[in-house]
Amino acid sequence: MKLAKDFLSKFKNLTPPDDAIRKAVADSIARIVGVPLKKGDVLLSRGIAFVQCSSVQKSAIRVSRAAVFEELYARLPKARDTVRDIR
């Protein structure tokens, strides 16, 4: 007979869907940097979140990248496995 923890262990390694991560990245950037973004402005590819905005806004995001990551990881801890850089 299998235990319940054996059944639930396979759900431990699930990652959130890209849609939730893109929304969390956009919200974190909007809160920390003040750049209003929609989740459609963020693309995820190979651990990098590509943000579609002006070069001035990208520079502001790059300056406060550490604070954005802290906010993102506090909001969505599983994003630590998915998002490693913002460009």
Question: What is the per-residue pLDDT for 27?
Answer: 94
Angle separating helix axes 18-32 and 65-75, nearest 10 degrees:
130
pLDDT score of 28 more than 80: yes
Sorted by sequence, the CB contacts under 8 Å of residue 49 that are 6+ apart come out as 21, 22, 25, 42, 43, 83, 85, 86, 87
Region 17-38 average pLDDT? 90
Residue 12 three-state SS: coil
**pLDDT, tens digit, 9 for 90 and up, residues 34-86:** 999 998 899 988 889 999 999 999 999 999 999 999 999 999 888 888 899 99
Poorest-pLDDT segment among 10-14, 29-33, 35-39, 40-44 = 10-14
Taking the C-alpha atoms of residue 21 and residue 58, their distance in angstroms, rounded to an integer, is 19
pLDDT category of residue 24 using cuts at 50, 70 and 90: very high
| Annotated domain spans of the chain | 16-86
pLDDT score of 18 more than 90: no
